[in-house]
């Protein structure tokens, strides 16, 4: 099980005025986290300032990590000492603000700034992953990225880092919203840091994401690939991702004009199609149309073909099913087609798109218990029990409001799963 580390207040011994090792005089507390505090100290011998990080003694492995690392974007560890059940890391003092502080103060990063910082972060990750043994950072997020006044970016706080040979631990740290799905099972690897990197870039885009994606369309794809649920479908490593970042080029005015013409053409074609379908009646019954789509699974190509052939069939099923959504618009028909689309994407192992269809099922006006149950069971199959439970609570509010009483097979299975998951009764 993963322990998702969320920062909260910690009881810390007041150290202001204390002199560590007869040399480092604590002058102020400048930060705090879930496990300790960060202090500003003056090096009496050299007359300069240092940062002193206080941690529980059992977390002193961070000192071991920092002692072995040497990179211009990582804080240098200067000294180390222990007192009772606490340890103190004396480090280079970095003046600046975290990227989270910048965001909370309303700063909007330009696409160029985000891409530049992305390259620097990937350079750090590449360095960490290339160590012997590899170092997996484990908790990349805007809070742990410090930007100095002169524009230098630092990665700080190695309390969640894991050495490569120890990555199969049953416990690793991370932050909800940034931790990769596999970290919930206690597994961490290169691609786990890539996932958190993608989520960090997404946070940095903030309210200006559409402007960034408009200027750099490939940036949206780049972030999406970083954040794929399946680790093997993300960028393979930091160097691979750096190669992807290098492909990011702003669209020129000439290209935008061409793209605008294409989009206008597509929109015109879609509008004409909708008008045409609005005056045409379906040529065949709904059941016949759906059966013809489902029959694609029974072809020899699908049954005995290779992976590429099966992918073509999956694409054909999705294409035909989506076209039927425009023709058959009764609520029960729309729901039936969404079931077909979701199941097809799940067979294809395109879980992101499958989830989109399952989510759309619950948003249909005529959605009942079975539609919520289908989405809830999908989440359960992905090991996302908490999200499945949240969906059930949302459904309970809908059921109370609309007085739904029917029970279906999917709902009974979903209810049994939740009872096992929570050891409670959700009838």
Whether 82 shows a pLDDT value over 60: the answer reads yes
Length of the chain (residues): 427
Domain match, 178 and 220 both: yes
Digit-coded pLDDT (tens) for 371-417: 888 888 888 888 888 888 888 888 877 766 655 555 677 788 887 88
Domain match, 88 and 112 both: no
Say which range, 91-95, 126-130, 265-269, has the weakest mean pLDDT: 265-269
Task: With respect to residue 273, please indicate whether it lies within any of the assigned structural domains.
Answer: no
Task: With respect to residue 182, please indicate whether it lies within any of the assigned structural domains.
Answer: yes
Domain match, 133 and 81 both: no
Domain match, 111 and 240 both: yes
Beta-carbon contacts of 216 under 8 Å, excluding residues fewer than 6 positions away, are 111, 115, 248, 249, 250, 251
Of 246, 263, 296, which residue sits at a domain end?
246
Of 93, 126, 156, which residue sits at a domain end?
93
| Whole-number Å distance between alpha carbons of 390 and 380 | 12
* Count of the separate structural domains present in the chain: 3
Domain match, 87 and 183 both: no
User: The domain containing residue 118 runs over which residues?
Assistant: 97-246
Of 93, 126, 153, which residue sits at a domain end?
93
Whether 6 shows a pLDDT value over 60: the answer reads no
| Whole-number Å distance between alpha carbons of 233 and 230 | 6
Q: Against a cut of 0.95, is the pTM above it?
A: no
CATH code, domain carrying 399: 1.25.40.10
Q: Hey, which residues does 155 pair with through a beta bridge?
A: 145
Structure tokens at 200: 């960090």
According to DSSP, the β-strands at 96-98 and 135-136 are unpaired
Instruction: Say what percent of the chain tops pLDDT 90.
Output: 31
Say which range, 39-53, 58-72, 233-247, has the weakest mean pLDDT: 58-72
Digit-coded pLDDT (tens) for 263-286: 676 677 767 666 655 544 455 788
Task: With respect to residue 261, please indicate whether it lies within any of the assigned structural domains.
Answer: no
Instruction: Say what percent of the chain tops pLDDT 70.
Output: 83
Q: How many CB atoms lie within 10 A of CB 308?
A: 7
Report the chain's mean pLDDT, rounded to a whole number: 82
| Whole-number Å distance between alpha carbons of 201 and 48 | 34
Domain match, 60 and 104 both: no
Task: With respect to residue 81, please indicate whether it lies within any of the assigned structural domains.
Answer: yes
Domain match, 101 and 241 both: yes
Domain match, 62 and 34 both: yes
CATH code, domain carrying 36: 3.30.200.20
Domain match, 110 and 241 both: yes
Beta-carbon contacts of 45 under 8 Å, excluding residues fewer than 6 positions away, are 23
Q: Are 35 and 10 in contact (CB under 8 A)?
A: yes
Task: With respect to residue 2, please indicate whether it lies within any of the assigned structural domains.
Answer: no
Digit-coded pLDDT (tens) for 11-45: 445 688 889 999 999 999 887 755 678 899 999 99
Task: With respect to residue 54, please indicate whether it lies within any of the assigned structural domains.
Answer: yes
Domain match, 128 and 27 both: no
């Amino acid at each position: 099980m993963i322990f998702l580390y969320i920062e909260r207040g910690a009881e810390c011994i007041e150290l202001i005025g204390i002199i560590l090792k007869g040399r480092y005089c604590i002058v102020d507390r400048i930060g705090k986290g879930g496990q300790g505090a960060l202090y500003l100290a003056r090096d009496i011998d050299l007359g300069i300032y240092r940062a002193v990080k206080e941690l529980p003694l059992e977390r002193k492995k961070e000192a071991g990590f920092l002692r072995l690392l040497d990179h211009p974007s990582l804080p240098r560890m200067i000294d180390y000492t222990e007192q009772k059940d606490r340890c103190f890391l004396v480090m280079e003092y970095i003046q600046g603000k975290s990227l989270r502080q910048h965001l909370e103060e309303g700063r909007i990063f330009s696409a160029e700034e985000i891409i530049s910082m992305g390259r620097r972060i990937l350079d750090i990750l590449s360095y960490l992953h290339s160590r012997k043994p590899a170092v997996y950072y484990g908790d990349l997020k805007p809070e742990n990225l410090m930007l100095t006044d002169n524009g230098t970016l630092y990665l700080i706080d190695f309390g969640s880092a894991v050495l490569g040979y120890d990555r199969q631990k049953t416990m690793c740290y991370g932050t909800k919203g940034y931790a990769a799905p596999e970290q919930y099972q206690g597994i961490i690897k290169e691609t786990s840091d890539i996932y958190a990197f993608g989520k960090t870039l997404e946070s940095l885009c903030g309210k200006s994401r559409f402007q960034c994606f408009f200027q750099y369309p490939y940036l949206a794809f780049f972030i999406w690939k970083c954040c794929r649920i399946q680790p093997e479908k993300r960028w393979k490593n930091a160097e691979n991702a750096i190669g992807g970042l290098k492909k990011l080029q702003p669209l020129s005015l000439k290209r935008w004009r061409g793209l605008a013409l294409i989009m206008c053409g597509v929109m015109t074609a879609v509008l004409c199609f909708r008008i045409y379908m609005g005056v045409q009646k379906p040529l065949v019954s709904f059941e016949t149309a759906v059966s013809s789509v489902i029959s694609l699974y029974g072809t020899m190509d699908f049954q005995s073909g290779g992976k590429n052939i099966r992918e073509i069939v999956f694409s054909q099923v999705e294409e035909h099913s989506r076209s039927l959504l425009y023709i058959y618009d009764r609520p029960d028909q729309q729901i039936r087609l969404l079931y077909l689309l979701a199941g097809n994407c799940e067979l294809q192992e395109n879980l992101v798109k499958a989830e989109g269809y399952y989510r759309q099922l619950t948003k249909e006006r005529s959605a009942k218990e079975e539609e919520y149950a289908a989405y809830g069971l999908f989440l359960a199959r992905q090991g996302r029990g908490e999200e499945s439970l949240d969906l059930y609570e949302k459904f309970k509010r809908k059921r109370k409001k609309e007085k739904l009483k029917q029970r279906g097979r999917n709902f009974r299975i979903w209810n049994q799963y939740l009872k096992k998951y929570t050891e409670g009764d959700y009838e």
